[in-house]
Amino acid sequence: MEIERKFLPKELPFHLEDHPHIQMEQGYLCTAPVVRVRREGGQYVLTYKSSGMMAREEYNLPLTRQAYEHLAEKIDGCLIKKTRYRIPLDNGLTAELDVFLPPHAPLKLLEVEFPNKESALSFEPPSWFGDDVTFDPRYHNSNMIHITKWQAQLSSPSSHS
């Protein structure tokens, strides 16, 4: 089970290079349900995610580089490229800050994973976390793969409740 909240940071109170980071790319073979392939450094993974916003089932299976490259040729939309920074928080939590490369730049998106729904709902984010977009589907990576459609959605008011 993946339980996470997402935020749009406005300003960062630190230098990014002070935190561990890794280059990532990911593409989506299907978005309902979500079936994703990802390269994270030298690791390759196939991921299945059920529907949901804050909490959903998630299964990861390792891939070889060759299998990843084969599947990446079959993705819908664009390949998402980003640098992920891991920033320690209180209570043993970690903020994962994704800094997106074009065509999604200058987007920055923070995610924090939680052990259960109660801790996710009671989490008090630091002020630099910015707006909570957990329930805004525009910020699910699987909705960002069709760049023209995604950019149009960003310019319209949020549809989350």
The 10 Å Cβ neighbour count of residue 6 is 21
SS (H, E, C) 13-67: CCCHHHCCEEEEEEEEEEECCEEEEEEECCEEEEEEECCCCCEECEEEEEECHHH
28 given a catalytic annotation: yes
| CA separation for the pair 82, 88 (Å, rounded) | 19
Please tell me whether the peptide bond between 9 and the residue prior to it is cis, using omega within 30 degrees of 0.
Answer: no
Of residues 28, 44, 85, 139, which has the active-site annotation?
Answer: 28
Q: Which residues are catalytic?
A: 28
